[in-house]
């Protein structure tokens, strides 16, 4: 990219920020498309890496797997991971209480749409590694797993016993299992953190191997499992002040060498 083109990036960043904050996501996408045509994909990735993460969250939350987006295809993994810290700020105040599953499903569509926007496996792993390396990222994935906790527990056991030979073939037929398997393969630590965020009674996934959830979701379980609503509120509390930038969490590594 030429020096002249690089000089145009601050103006493009300012333009996109103003469009997103004004609610003109389609016009922001047009600006990205024009920049990609004129200066190449690098320009879009560079702007996305310099946008405030709360602006990136606001923009990307308007797209999912059903809507095409230049930003979805090109957002740098670190920029996306930072933006996830602000995603809960885009939710309507009453929706967490009234319809938590709908929010969680929309969040799943967002994550799935970013992670599987291309067939680039290396990019997919980088996205999952960055997103799961933070406290808020662990909570995001726990929210997704809370939609299918029995399936996730089954997968946790499969991953422990089969390691890298694990597949996403479980009793369920949702897209949650493939995402969980890909996360475990991309980041052992990220997978563990997300599991312990959903099932906080445990210290590591090996302790979950023999656990069985009751068939009735309303039935009391012998161990603590955070509900979708509880996790949504938890993520809401993790939204940083816009005066401070997101930082990596301070949780210790909890890896168990599941793929050694």
Q: Which of residues 40 and 231 earns the better pLDDT score?
A: 231
Model confidence pLDDT, tens digit, residues 155-182: 888 888 776 666 655 545 568 999 999 9
pTM: 0.83
Whole-angstrom distance, CA of residue 109 vs CA of residue 126: 19
Of 85, 105, 204, 97, which is closest to residue 145 (Cα–Cα)? Answer: 105
Between the alpha carbon of residue 151 and those of residues 67, 144, 185, 252, the distances in Å are 28, 12, 17, 26
pLDDT band of 209, cuts 50, 70, 90: low
Whole-angstrom distance, CA of residue 79 vs CA of residue 83: 6
pLDDT for residue 8: 74
- 45 touches 14 (CB < 8 A): no
Burial of 111 (0-12, 13-18, 19+ CB in 10 A): buried
Tokens matching residue 145: 């797993």
| Region of poorest pLDDT, from 112-116, 178-182, 244-248 | 244-248
Whole-angstrom distance, CA of residue 27 vs CA of residue 33: 10
Q: What angle do CA 90, 153, 215 make, to 5 degrees?
A: 95
Q: Which of residues 118 and 258 earns the better pLDDT score?
A: 118
Tokens matching residue 235: 């993520």
Decide if pLDDT at 27 tops 70.
yes
Structure-derived torsion over alpha carbons of residues 167, 168, 171, 172, reported in degrees to the nearest 10? -170
């Amino acid at each position: 990219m030429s020096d002249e083109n690089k000089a145009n990036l601050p103006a493009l960043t300012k333009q996109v920020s103003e469009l997103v904050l004004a609610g003109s996501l389609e016009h922001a996408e047009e600006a990205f498309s024009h920049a990609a045509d004129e200066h190449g994909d690098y320009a879009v990735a560079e702007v996305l890496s310099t946008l405030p993460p709360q602006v990136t969250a606001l923009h990307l939350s308007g797209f999912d797997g059903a809507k095409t987006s230049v930003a979805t295809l090109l957002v740098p993994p670190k920029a996306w991971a930072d933006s996830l810290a602000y995603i809960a700020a885009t939710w309507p105040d009453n929706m967490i209480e009234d319809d938590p599953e709908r929010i969680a499903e929309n969040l799943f569509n967002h994550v799935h749409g970013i992670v599987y926007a291309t067939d680039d496996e290396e990019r997919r792993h980088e996205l999952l590694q960055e997103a799961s390396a933070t406290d808020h990222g662990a909570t995001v994935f726990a929210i997704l797993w809370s939609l299918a906790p029995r399936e996730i527990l089954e997968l946790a056991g499969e991953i422990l016993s089969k390691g890298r030979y694990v597949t996403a073939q479980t009793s369920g037929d949702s897209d949650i299992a493939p995402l969980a398997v890909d996360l475990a393969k991309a980041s052992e630590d990220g997978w563990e953190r997300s599991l312990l965020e959903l099932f906080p009674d445990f210290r590591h996934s090996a302790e979950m191997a023999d656990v069985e959830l009751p068939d009735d979701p309303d039935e009391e379980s012998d161990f603590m499992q955070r509900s979708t609503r509880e996790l949504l509120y938890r993520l809401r509390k993790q939204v940083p002040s816009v005066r401070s930038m997101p930082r990596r969490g301070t949780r210790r590594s909890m890896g168990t060498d599941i793929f050694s």
